[in-house]
Amino acid sequence: MTAPQYPKPQYPSQAPGGFAAAPPLWAPYYGAPFKEAVQRVFKKYATFTGRASRAEYWWWALVGAVVGVVLNIIISAGMVTSTSTYSGYAYSAPTLGPVSIIGVILAVVWGLAVVVPSLALTVRRLHDVNMSGWMILLGLIPFVGGIIVLVFTLLPPKPEGQRFDQPTAPAYGH
């Protein structure tokens, strides 16, 4: 038996001339291109309501992974090794050089800047698969928690997840 295929929601065109446009911010953007997906993360910085598509979630995960690798390279490249003797035994210990310190500062700033939008995006992704955002707390379970949340983010969207949508009211007079 095959899984049911649900049609992707269609949104009315918002662009002048009748061309297709991105869905409104309150709706998930299925098949979101890279740039739009990353922009939506910051436009919905602390929005824990609504839903996020797999494309939105995984494009952001890619950005986070690439930035993390670059910051780790900067930190590692600036490490210096010093050799000292203590009680007749020589040992070398890596210490942070000036470049590593800059890398650590950048990593802390990046981490603080993206912790809230990343959590909000994960909650919205869980909503898209019709799960409570509180399921993100499963990630706190040692060893398996992160894997459980990962599996949930891989699941396809479910139409029942629309219960988490809160469309904005139309402007007065329209």
> Nearest 5°: phi and psi at 67?
-65, -40
Q: How does pLDDT run across 128-171, given as a tens digit for each residue?
A: 999 999 999 999 999 999 999 999 999 999 999 999 988 765 55
Place of tokens 């800059």: 102
Query: What's the pLDDT at 78?
Result: 81
CA angle 160, 164, 165 (to 5 degrees): 105
Query: What's the pLDDT at 13?
Result: 45
pTM score of the predicted model: 0.79
Q: How does pLDDT run across 25-48, given as a tens digit for each residue?
A: 889 999 999 999 999 999 999 999
Q: How does pLDDT run across 81-128, given as a tens digit for each residue?
A: 766 666 667 677 778 888 889 999 999 999 999 999 999 999 999 999
**For residue 16, pLDDT beyond 60:** no
**For residue 7, pLDDT beyond 80:** no
Angle between helices 145-154 and 98-128 (to 10 degrees): 60
| Domain positions in the chain | 31-158
